[in-house]
Amino acid sequence: MRILVTAGPTREYIDDVRYISNASSGRMGYAIVSAIVQAGHEAVLVSGPVSLPAPLDCEFHAVESTEQMMQTCRELFPACDGVIAAAAVCDYQPKSRVKGKISKTGDGIFLEMIETDDVLAALGQCKEHRWIVGFALEAQNERENALQKLRRKNCNWIVLNRPEAIAAENNSVELLDETGRTVAHWEGPKSQIAGDLVKWIADQVG
Confirm whether 162 is domain-assigned: yes
Confirm whether 177 is domain-assigned: yes
Give the strand pairing for 92-94 and 12-13. unpaired
Instruction: Compute φ and ψ for 144, nearest 5 degrees.
Output: -60, -45
pLDDT value for 143? 87
Asked if residue 187 lies in contact with residue 159, where contact means CB atoms within 8 angstroms, the answer is: no
> How many domains does the chain contain in total?
1
Residues near 42 by Cβ (< 8 Å), separated by ≥ 6?
1, 2, 3, 36, 58, 59
pLDDT value for 164? 81
Query: pLDDT tens digit string along 14-34?
Result: 999 999 999 999 999 999 999
Confirm whether 144 is domain-assigned: yes
Asked if residue 149 lies in contact with residue 163, where contact means CB atoms within 8 angstroms, the answer is: no
Confirm whether 99 is domain-assigned: no
22 catalytic per annotation: yes
Domain of 157, CATH number, reads 3.40.50.10300
Confirm whether 105 is domain-assigned: no
Confirm whether 192 is domain-assigned: yes
The H-or-E segment that residue 72 falls in is helix 66-76
The H-or-E segment that residue 184 falls in is strand 182-189
Q: How far apart are CA 64 and CA 16, in angstroms?
A: 13
Question: Can you tell me whether residue 77 is helix, strand or coil?
Answer: helix
- The catalytic residue among 22, 161, 170, 171 is 22
pLDDT value for 109? 86
Q: What is the domain range of residue 47?
A: 2-94+112-205
List average pLDDT for each run of 10 residues in the chain, which is 206 residues long: 98 96 94 97 98 94 98 98 97 95 89 95 96 92 91 96 81 92 95 97 91
pLDDT value for 53? 94
| CA separation, residue 13 to residues 67, 89, 105, 110, 187 (Å) | 12, 14, 20, 14, 35
Q: How far apart are CA 113 and CA 153, in angstroms?
A: 22
Among 159, 168, 115, 169, which Cα is nearest to 137's? 159
DSSP 57: T
Query: pLDDT tens digit string along 108-129?
Result: 888 999 999 999 999 999 999 9
Q: How far apart are CA 187 and CA 21, in angstroms?
A: 27
